[in-house]
Structures are given as C-alpha cells and as structure tokens.
Structure 1
Amino acid sequence: MKCTVALLCTFGLTLGLASSAIAASVKQRVSYFPIYGNTLEKLEASMLKNGPHFNESASGHPGAATVTFDGVVSYKPTERGCVIDNADFSLVVELSLPKWTNRSGASEETIFLWETFERDVVRHEMHHADIARKWVTKLEMAVRNSSAAPDCETLENAVHRTSERYLKWHEDEQRDYDRKEFREMNLRLKRALRDRLRAGD
C-alpha cells in the first residue's frame, strides 16, 4: 500500500536533526530574469515588470523561491499491526533571481546600491531553500517514526495528518521569515549606504 503527499509553495521577497538514515532527496534549480536600466528608478521598473509574479500580484518581485515537497510511503501489515515499510521524501527548490544585463552608463552609486540589494535578494531566497530542506528532513523522520496502527488505513490516515501538520509548520516558518525580512531589509540597505557615505568622507 502506498500513498503520496505533495505541496507546492512559493515564497518571495516583496520590495520596499536527523539521523544518517534520513536522506530526503533535494534538487535545486536557479533561473534568472533580466533587469535593464542605468538608474535605480529604471532598475526598479524593470524588476517590477520582469520579476516573478505570484499570489495574483500585478507587479513582479525581486526574487522567488518555489519549493515542492513530494513523498511516497509504503505500509506493511505485521503481527503487531500495520507499520511503515518505507518512506521516501523529496524536495525540489526553484530559485528565480534578478540579473542586471547591462550596466553601461550607471553611476558608481547605482552599481553599489544594486549589488548590495542583489546580495540581499540572493541571501533571502537561499534561506527560504534552507528552511524547506530542514522541514523535508523533519517530515521524513516523523513519518518513518510513526507508531504501529491496528490496520494500514488507520496508519495511512495518521501519516496524512502528520504530513499536513509538518507542512503547515514549514509554511508558518517561511511566512514568519518573510514578515521579519520585510521590516529589516530596508534597514540593511540604508545602513550599507550610510557606511559607504561615511567611508567617502
């Protein structure tokens, strides 16, 4: 008996313990969308146009991390009841990041601010991927450690509830991280600019 569990989540940045036996498969892909312009205003306009769209947003975002969980669980009847025979989970992470294609005519200040911003976007989306890796491992371990049930249907239902619970916890952490980043990103950019201006004095 087998069942599958899957979830597709997208998280983006809005502008402005497991044992060695647990080995969820993780694949990561990175794609880039082009950014054009030689001023901050043009770069922002290009990003809003070409950046990834999700949650029915009319404007593009500076970056996005789409994570897809999948898993196959098999069950085995025994004398003590139905137990987990095997559980294999996988995670696919797809990162969409900006790439400035032509810096001709851009000022040093514009280049500095963009590079600072770009590093923050990459760091942000990579952390979304790290959160997903943590939770797919936790989920696989929790399912493998499921207690025996009187029958396999009961155990399958229990695994389904466990999966839903862990996927919700994963999504909650992702959204909490986005809320925190929304507050802190502008502060980091302002601090970087202030430090650069002080260095030029």
Structure 2
Amino acid sequence: MRMFVTPPLPPPTIPAPVIMEDVRYYVIEGRSESELVAQMNAKGYLDEHGRYWGYTSPQLKWGFDTESVEGRCYLVDPKVVVIITTTLPTWTPPPGTSAALMAKWRAFDRAIRHHEGEHAQIARDEARELVALMRKHRHDVSCSGLDASLQAEGRVIMRKADAANAELDKRTGHGATEGVAISW
C-alpha cells in the first residue's frame, strides 16, 4: 500500500503592488491673478475639510487569503492595489495675457504638481511597504496568527502614511512654502 503525502505549498509569490495613477483637471479661466485665484477657490477639489487647489487621493486595497497545510499556514493570493487620483487646475492663457502672469502661472503649476507628487509618492511607498510586509511574513504556524500579525503591522504602515501626508501639509502649509501659494 502506498501513501501519498501532500507536499507543503511552495512559498507564495508576492507580486509587486499594482499602482494606477490618474490626473483629473478642472478648467479655470481668467485674465488676472485675482480671477485665477477666485476660479481655483470656486472649482478646486472639495471634501469635508474644505476646498483645495490641488489634491491627491489614494485608494489603497490590500488583501490575502490563508491556507493551512500540514501544520503551517501560508499566504494565498496576496495583492496590493493603489489607485492615486490627483486633481489639478488647468488654465489656457487668453490672448494678450502678460508674460509676467504666464511666468507666475508656470511656477505655480510646477510647484503644485511637485507637492501633489509628494503625496502620490507617499501612497506608492505605502503600497510597497505592504508588499514587503507580506514578503517577510509568507507563512506562520497558525492562520489566525498570520492574519493577526499582518493586519496589525499593515495598520501601522497605513497610519505611518497618513501621518506622513499630514506632516507634509503641516510642514509646507499645504504646499505654500513649496510655491503653491499665489502671492500676487
């Protein structure tokens, strides 16, 4: 009589995070600095905290299943997906716009893209840290232990990203010290 033993699962492949990025624009119009500011104040991204001239909104989804094989628990179907949506103003200077206004706009546009890019980078880093976490903890002696440790450490990573975003906005005045202020 032959006995067949199911071999343990191979270590799971933990794929790189799926990172999708989308930039959405709202159109502003105007011939003067005050008109541009008024348009951004009226049309910028709106959430429960207020209106923002530029905004980066990451939506993170991460998950995994577990499977117990011969006294060990293994990760199954691990994945991390982050969708980063950035909202920015766009302006087409009307004929006759002064060179000074266009230069100020270009500097502002570079600064707001840089600042929102910093927020996007925090989201990318968060996704990569979650993948690294799952690569570090591919298996454990119990599924409940594996799930609990991944969930707990994952929450730490997510809180760290939230704190990094808050610190960035506090340190830069929502980008003002990086040029996202129109001091015209």
The TM-score normalised by the length of structure 2 is 0.81
Q: CA RMSD in A?
A: 2.5
| SS in structure 1 at match of 2:97 | coil
Of 59, 69, 72, the residue aligned with 1:78 is 69
**1:22–1:137: 8 Å Cα contact kept in structure 2?**
no
Stretches of structure 2 that go unaligned for 5 or more consecutive residues are 1-12
Matched, 1:39 2:32: yes
**Quick check: which has more Rg, 1 or 2?**
2
Q: Which amino acid aligns with 1:52?
A: Y
Q: Which amino acid aligns with 2:41?
A: L
Provide the identity percentage: 19
The TM-score normalised by the length of structure 1 is 0.75
Alignment of 1:46-65 (within 5 A): 46-57=39-50, 60-65=51-56
**2:169–2:175: 8 Å Cα contact kept in structure 1?**
no
Residue 103 of structure 1 and its aligned partner are, at CA, apart by 2.7
| SS in structure 1 at match of 2:46 | coil
Matched, 1:100 2:91: yes
Supply the distance in 1 between the matched residues of 2:33 and 2:93 (Cα, whole angstroms): 13
Residue 86 of structure 1 and its aligned partner are, at CA, apart by 3.6
Per-residue CA deviation, residues 136-184 of structure 1 (Å, 9 max, x unaligned), is: 0111210232264443233222222122111111111111112222287
Of 149, 152, 155, the residue aligned with 1:161 is 152
**2:61–2:80: 8 Å Cα contact kept in structure 1?**
yes
Of 93, 108, 111, the residue aligned with 1:120 is 111
Residue 41 of structure 1 and its aligned partner are, at CA, apart by 0.7
Measured at CA, do residues 186 and 38 of structure 1 come closer, stay the same or move farther in structure 2, by a change above 3 Å? farther
Report the number of matched residues.
170
**1:74–1:85: 8 Å Cα contact kept in structure 2?**
yes
